Homo-oligomer: A and B are copies of this chain.
Amino acid sequence: MVAALNHFTEIDHCSREQLEDLINFAMEISSDPAPFENRRKGKMLVNLFYEPSTRTRVSFEVAAKRLGMHVINVTATGSSVEKGETLTDTFYTIQAMGPDCIVVRHPEEGNARKLAALAEPGIHVINAGDGIAAHPTQALLDAVTLRQHVGSFQKLRLVMAGDIRHSRVAHSVIALLKKLDVGEIRLAGPAQFMPGEAATAGTRIFDNLDSAIRGANAVMMLRIQKERITGLDIPGAEEYHREWGLTTRRLGLTEPGCHVLHPGPMNRGVEISSAVADSPQSLIRNQVRNGLYARMALLLTLMREEN
């Protein structure tokens, strides 16, 4: 039984037990989603997105509709933002319409948490990505995918490589895996893409992908988050691929059968070669599918007492 959870805005707000229960529940759904269809019929989810998104918005929309929920999409473009309304007033407006869940994506760190603190009882706030800080449902789906394919978190030797600093996915994945006592987390990337000590504590840092990757049984490649980088020189695609791209040759340095993950969208030929992205070792589409189950598990858990 998953312990009571009211919002889901940051990994660190959850206990290890809650996170393990969510992962287990998502795995249960993934093995047979049919019994969970329409289990929250008539409930309402609002996607409140202040940044462009395809996969996350659609994943929440599909997950909610599979549960029988109504879904309302609100994007910052074409909205009252242009008329000078504050984020909190928009939130209060949406909330006054009585949805059950509000899924928030926002370019600034901490805003999902801030809105969760303003939520009325019975309204659940989910962080779908805020600034470079957190994207906890993505971490959940990554954990589900790793658990399915590596078996146990203790056996996991995961390399995360690329633009870790500007990746909210990386921050949430690191936070989650640390809570779960994962075997080993290795970080590799250009110095300018390494995050601060709070994020790297408990991990091993490499300034070279070849060294980082030796003996790993999972590798998660990260896109350069151009839209969130200011004041840094971004390396050219070819040069970056040579130094930091996951190629077939580099994949050969890992443990045989090493799994490849990428939160998407991928930039083929930059952080990952097409041969690797499309290889049998790639779990990229499994991640997307598990995103659906992870979000169904989360929605069912947040609204547990309500149907």
A92-B285, A265-B83 known; A78 and B52 CB under 8 Å? yes
CB distance from A236 to the nearest CB of B (A): 14
CB distance from A144 to the nearest CB of B (A): 14
A85-B265, A98-B292, A267-B84 known; A79 and B93 CB under 8 Å? no
Q: Which of A57-111 contact B (CB under 8 A)?
A: 58-59, 61-62, 65, 70, 72, 74-75, 77-86, 89-90, 92-99
Which residue from B54, B79, B286 sits with its C-beta under 8 Å from A74?
B54
How many copies of this chain?
3
Question: Are A265 and B84 in contact, CB atoms less than 8 angstroms apart?
Answer: yes
Contacts of A270 in B (CB 8 A): 84
Question: Are B54 and A65 in contact, CB atoms less than 8 angstroms apart?
Answer: no
A75-B78, A265-B89, A292-B98 known; A83 and B42 CB under 8 Å? no
CA distance A95 to B226 in the complex (A): 26
CA distance A154 to B37 in the complex (A): 49
Question: Are B223 and A83 in contact, CB atoms less than 8 angstroms apart?
Answer: yes
Question: Are A94 and B265 in contact, CB atoms less than 8 angstroms apart?
Answer: no
Question: Are B58 and A94 in contact, CB atoms less than 8 angstroms apart?
Answer: yes
Which residue from B42, B84, B93, B284 sits with its C-beta under 8 Å from A55?
B93
Which residue from B61, B62, B99, B286 sits with its C-beta under 8 Å from A98?
B62
Interface size class of A (residues with CB under 8 A): 35 or more
Asked whether A264 is an interface residue with its Cβ less than 8 Å from the other chain, the reply is yes
Q: Which of A173-199 contact B (CB under 8 A)?
A: none
Contacts of A46 in B (CB 8 A): 58
Question: Are A268 and B86 in contact, CB atoms less than 8 angstroms apart?
Answer: yes
CA distance A95 to B52 in the complex (A): 20
Question: Are A78 and B96 in contact, CB atoms less than 8 angstroms apart?
Answer: no
Asked whether A289 is an interface residue with its Cβ less than 8 Å from the other chain, the reply is yes
CA distance A72 to B241 in the complex (A): 35
Asked whether A288 is an interface residue with its Cβ less than 8 Å from the other chain, the reply is yes
Which residue from B61, B82, B264, B291 sits with its C-beta under 8 Å from A85?
B264
Asked whether A266 is an interface residue with its Cβ less than 8 Å from the other chain, the reply is yes
Q: Which of A194-250 contact B (CB under 8 A)?
A: 223, 226-227
CA distance A267 to B80 in the complex (A): 11
Asked whether A299 is an interface residue with its Cβ less than 8 Å from the other chain, the reply is no
Asked whether A44 is an interface residue with its Cβ less than 8 Å from the other chain, the reply is yes
By beta carbon, the residue of chain B nearest A264 is B93
CA distance A42 to B227 in the complex (A): 37
Asked whether A15 is an interface residue with its Cβ less than 8 Å from the other chain, the reply is no
CA distance A242 to B251 in the complex (A): 66
Question: Are A227 and B289 in contact, CB atoms less than 8 angstroms apart?
Answer: no
19 A-B interface contacts by CB (under 8 A): A44-B62, A52-B79, A52-B80, A53-B78, A53-B79, A58-B72, A58-B74, A62-B97, A62-B98, A62-B99, A83-B227, A83-B265, A84-B223, A85-B264, A85-B265, A85-B267, A86-B268, A93-B264, A96-B288
The 3 closest A-B pairs by CB, nearest first: A85-B265, A96-B288, A80-B265
